[in-house]
């Protein structure tokens, strides 16, 4: 094995849901710079247009598809169309997700359904649609963006819907990994801690939360999107060919206490 080429993804086709922002966008940058052909997906076309322009500035040529991951029929059509256009789908990164910080007693039915529908149901629809092509081809790598919130309970905020959905993502990852392992398809999850995305940085407006997060992180800082994206590349690439069913924490030591 030439370790210098372990992360070379030249010729691979990588699909990134939630790829117009946050960790998804940075993962698209990282995969593209490692040689992959990148397709990003999101519900909002204007954000996708802007993301493709930003990717080009980073040296990554990408295309996009407008996709609501909660629509299983639309997900199936998108997977079929991408494979028809590119001939294959080697990597799927499921990064689409939302969070709502409410107490359980204040969480409405609609809010609960919205979080679970995007974070869990939509992720499964994508795994199933693209996984079908990967299993048939005998090759593929899926990276689900879970969260340390699927391993521990965050504080001081309360967000039962988010934590439950991410815990389910981790178990789904393990279930699919074992089901598809002998078919040549690997399924892993990333469990990021607090990462400097727009959603996290906005919480600086609530120092009673943000400062607690820093105090509870051994490294004393939030992570950079690039630090999460580098781990995505590891899980997606040939550097991790014997890794499946793993939940990889990238959290500055938060879950090590």
User: Could you tell me the residue ranges of all domains in the chain?
Assistant: 7-250
What is the pLDDT at residue 241?
97
What is the pLDDT at residue 203?
87
Report d(CA 116, CA 249) in Å as an integer.
22
For residue 12 the two structure tokens come to 């691979």
Question: Residues 129-148: pLDDT tens digits?
Answer: 999 999 999 999 999 999 99
- Of all residues in the chain, the percent with pLDDT exceeding 90 is 97
What is the pLDDT at residue 32?
98
In the block, which residue shows the tokens 């990333």?
A: 190
> Chain centroid to CA 126: how far?
11
Report the C-alpha dihedral over residues 94, 92, 168, 129, rounded to 10 degrees. Answer: 110
Which of the listed CATH numbers 3.40.50.720, 3.55.40.20, 3.90.950.10, 3.40.50.300 matches domain 7-250?
3.40.50.720
Active site residue 242: no
> Chain centroid to CA 133: how far?
19
For residue 124 the two structure tokens come to 């499964």
- Of all residues in the chain, the percent with pLDDT exceeding 70 is 100
Q: Which of 64, 162, 234, 254 is catalytic?
A: 162
pLDDT higher than 90, residue 62: yes
**Cβ contact 24:95 at 8 Å:** yes
Report d(CA 178, CA 168) in Å as an integer.
16
Whole-Å CA distances, 155 to 104, 159, 190, 252: 14, 9, 20, 16
Cβ-proximal residues to 53 (8 Å cutoff; 6+ apart), any chain = none
- pTM for the model: 0.97
State the pairing for strand pair 37-42/13-17. parallel
Among 64, 172, 41, 76, smallest CA distance to 119 is for 172
């Amino acid at each position: 094995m030439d370790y210098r080429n372990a992360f070379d993804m030249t010729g691979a086709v990588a699909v990134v849901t939630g790829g117009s922002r946050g960790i998804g966008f940075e993962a698209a940058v990282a995969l593209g710079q490692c040689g992959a052909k990148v397709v990003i997906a999101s519900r909002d076309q204007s954000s996708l247009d802007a993301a493709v322009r930003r990717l080009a500035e980073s040296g990554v040529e990408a295309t996009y598809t407008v996709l609501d991951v909660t629509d299983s029929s639309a997900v199936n059509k998108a997977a079929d169309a991408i494979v028809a256009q590119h001939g294959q789908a080697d990597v799927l990164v499921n990064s689409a997700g939302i969070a709502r910080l409410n107490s359980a007693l204040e969480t409405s039915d609609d809010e609960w359904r919205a979080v679970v529908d995007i974070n869990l149901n939509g992720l499964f629809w994508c795994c199933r649609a693209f996984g079908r092509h990967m299993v048939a081809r005998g090759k593929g790598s899926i990276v689900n963006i879970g969260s340390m919130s699927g391993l521990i309970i965050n504080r001081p905020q309360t967000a039962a819907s988010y934590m439950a959905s991410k815990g389910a993502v981790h178990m789904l990852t393990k279930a699919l990994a074992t089901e598809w392992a002998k078919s040549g398809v690997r399924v892993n999850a990333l469990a990021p801690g607090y990462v400097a995305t727009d959603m996290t940085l906005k919480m600086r407006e609530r120092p009673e939360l943000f400062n607690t997060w820093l105090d509870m992180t051994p490294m004393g800082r939030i992570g950079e999107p690039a630090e999460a994206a580098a781990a995505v590349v590891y899980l997606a690439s040939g550097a991790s060919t014997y890794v499946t069913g793993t939940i990889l924490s990238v959290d500055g030591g938060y879950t090590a206490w």
